[in-house]
Amino acid sequence: MFKPITTIERQTGNATISVIFAMMERHLVLPSVLVACPGAPPARNRPPPYLQAPSNRAKGVPDMRLGRPSRAAVIGLVLALGITACSGDSTTTSAPTSTAAANGGLEKTEIKVVGLPAIDTAALYVAIDQKLFEKEGLKVTPQIVQSSPEAIPMLLNGEIDAMFGNYVSMFQAHDQGALKLRILAEGSRAAPDSLSVMALPDSPIRSAKDLEGKTINVNVLHNFQELALTQVLKANNVDPKKIKYVQVTFQNIMPAWQKGQIDAAYLGEPMVTAATSQMGARKILDPASGPAAEFPISGYVSTQEWYEKNPNTAAAFQRALHAAAKMMESNRELVVDVLPNFTQIEKATAATVTFPYFSSSDNPVRLQRVADWMVEAGWLGKDIDVASLMSPTTSG
């Protein structure tokens, strides 16, 4: 007869010794260890579930951070997290597996992940399209929200398992105690010309210095756009304090720009390409240049509590994302093919825009830069050791 390990530990210390021994022998990490009765036949793992892409793919605005929210919740199968061990009852003829061990060591095989209808989220959809999650034994159901802060309550309430969001919002929530953050995998980094501060053809703005005293749009005040641009402005001998930032929704950027409500437009793809080809707009400054080169923008995160309960599921999720990003490095078409599935970017347009960098590995040094700049800007109350928030890399 099998009992939960917490019950057995109160009865005897032998079960604990057996679990530790099994962990060392199999190189597994608790709590996904199966302890079988002596003489019992080996447990058989269930085959990984078949991964199906969601039938209702949400369409959204192809802004770097904004999109139309989708509330289609798909209830995942919550698998029991447990470790089993033998008691003195020898009447059982074979040892059944624990739920985790029966699923290849995964504590959960179905997870819900919130993404954004932006190019940055592409690795999630490439991993689904290429069945990389399925190879890890995972079924991932993506959902779409308008912005990163909107998904934080969903994460805390257990409506979702993980989310894709910008680091500035995540670090702010962690600093304020609203979220005990765990970074599961890096997502996107700014690539040259994937972001741009632009001026209309008849604008008197001709150089970075001309931006002083001018008004520039951002999607959210005190977020990653402003953080990165501040460093680039300093490098170009421009006083960041002389820039006025106004919050403008994605849909209103072009009208506000043409009406003169903003002097220069802070754009991301595919708007950079559209403004250049359709409006004759000129690039004044690349926010992803100089000190902000490869600036980390967004990643996949969860709570520390969820990670501690599901370390093997988190590792499988990370491996699939890293594998997708690695494939995307040498095959642009993988990104082009999936973008119409979760954004309003048509395939023909997707083929011409500049993509961000997709991270196939995690680097705490480059990510620490974000937290340090936030402290410098006064956006965090204390220093954050980013490495302590990052999950171990298991993808090699």
Confidence class of residue 148 from pLDDT cuts 50, 70 and 90? confident
| DSSP letters spanning 168-226 | HHHHHHHHTTS--EEEEEEEEE--TTSEEEEE-TT-S--SGGGGTT-EEEESSTTSHHH
Predicted pLDDT of residue 65: 35
What's the average model confidence in pLDDT over 84-92? Answer: 35
Q: What per-residue confidence (pLDDT) applies to 135? A: 97
DSSP state of 344: S
Amino acid at 147: S
**pLDDT value, residue 129:** 96
- In this predicted structure, what is the pLDDT of residue 52? 36
The secondary structure of 36-74 as a DSSP string is PPTTPPPP-PPPPPPP---SSPPP----SS---------
Backbone angles phi, psi at 266, to 5 degrees: -95, 105
Peptide bond into 4 cis (omega under 30): no
Contact present, 289 and 192 (Cβ < 8 Å): yes
Instruction: Give residue-wise pLDDT tens across range 338-374.
Output: 999 888 888 998 999 999 999 999 999 999 999 999 9
Q: Is the peptide bond before 31 cis (omega within 30 degrees of 0)?
A: yes
Rounded distance between C-alpha atoms, residue 139 and residue 205, angstroms: 50
Mean pLDDT calculated for residue range 302-328: 97
Question: In the CATH scheme, what is the code of domain 104-188+298-389?
Answer: 3.40.190.10
324 exposure class (CB count in 10 Å sphere: 0-12, 13-18, 19+): buried
Q: What is the pLDDT of residue 217?
A: 96
Residues facing 197 on adjacent strands: 266, 285
- Second-level CATH architecture of 195-292: 3-Layer(aba) Sandwich (3.40)
- Which of these, 123, 113, 125, 138, lies nearest to 51 by C-alpha position? 138
Residue 147, pLDDT score: 78
DSSP three-state, residue 393: coil
pLDDT of residue 299: 97
Summary mean pLDDT of the chain: 79
**Who contacts 36 (Cβ-Cβ below 8 Å, separation ≥6)?**
42, 43, 86, 95
Q: How confident is the model at residue 112 (pLDDT cuts 50, 70, 90)?
A: very high
At 252-302, the pLDDT tens digits run 899 999 999 999 999 988 889 989 999 999 999 999 999 999 999 999 999
Nearest to 358 by CA among 190, 192, 194: 190
Instruction: Look at strands 195-199 and 282-285 and give their pairing.
Output: antiparallel
CB-count exposure of residue 279 (10 Å: 0-12, 13-18, 19+): middle
As a whole number, mean pLDDT of residues 139-150 equals 88
pLDDT for 177 equals 93
- Residue 74's pLDDT is 29
Residue range 154-212, pLDDT digits in tens: 999 999 999 999 999 999 999 999 999 999 999 999 999 999 999 999 999 999 999 99
Residue 25 has pLDDT above 50, yes or no: no
The closest alpha carbon to 194, from 331, 117, 297, belongs to 297
Q: Assign 251 a pLDDT band (cuts: 50, 70, 90).
A: confident
Question: pLDDT tens across 121-132, in order?
Answer: 999 999 999 999
Q: Give the per-residue pLDDT at 27.
A: 33
Q: Which of 160, 125, 105, 25 is nearest to 316 (CA)?
A: 105
| DSSP assignment of 109-142 | SEEEEEE-SSGGGHHHHHHHHTTHHHHTT-EEEE
Positions of CATH 3.40.190.10 in the chain: 104-188+298-389, 195-292
71 has a pLDDT exceeding 80: no
**DSSP letter for each residue of 281-292:** -EEEE-TTSGGG
Whole-model pTM: value is: 0.71
Grade residue 389 by pLDDT with cuts at 50, 70 and 90: very high
